[in-house]
Structure 1
């Protein structure tokens, strides 16, 4: 499992933009900047849609004021779902990042198998990444939501 002080694993994501699907690397996302990355088990799910993502939407300006260059929401969904969810949540200041096959979450050691309920998903977590290095990491126990909340992460930046 990934730890504070580790480098973010190299990965390439497919991101849906106005001009189509583009490939974005972890270097593009994390180098030469400070990023808050939070992961949710699934787009459009209750806690994720009612509390987790909305907290970051509401507090985005406060993160930026504390020197955060980018806020990323990660889920094991496809890029089309992540774009639609971001639009539905007015997440204009948040990068909605799809880990379509869950391989990035697996590389972090933060994937979980929910079986027939939903298959491979992200464990709920949040981290601060500075120039590619993980400088803060909060991992939620099963069925919990507190440590990875925007309110808590704001105290760590």
Structure 2
């Protein structure tokens, strides 16, 4: 037999025939990505009517709460089921323990309330890490230079 033939390789499947034409590829694919699989990240900033460019991420903006509500409406219209919120916390509100995270009127909490009031159908995902709220920038409590996970 020829070297590399299916018989010689004892292949149970012959994958080339599953790649030959578009209709076959579509028929046998294991995954299809749809808008149901997406979560739209929104970056928040204090203020009203603001869309502030994020220098480190070209094309991305930090949004004030009112603008985040508008983007949540767009997400629902585009059939994207959820948004994820990431706040920019004023450095004056940050401390070593990230205590602003516990403020029921912080930027994320206000954004959630406003979005759910106007766009109840959208899911909201929140990052519970402390890095937006800590003065040292770590996502946990820092004791003697070490992140203390249990205490965090």
Which TM bucket (shorter chain)? Answer: 0.3 to 0.5
Question: Quick one: higher RCO (CA 8 Å, sep 6+), 1 or 2?
Answer: 1
TM-score by length of 1: 0.33
Greater C-alpha radius of gyration:
2
TM-score, reference length from structure 2 = 0.34
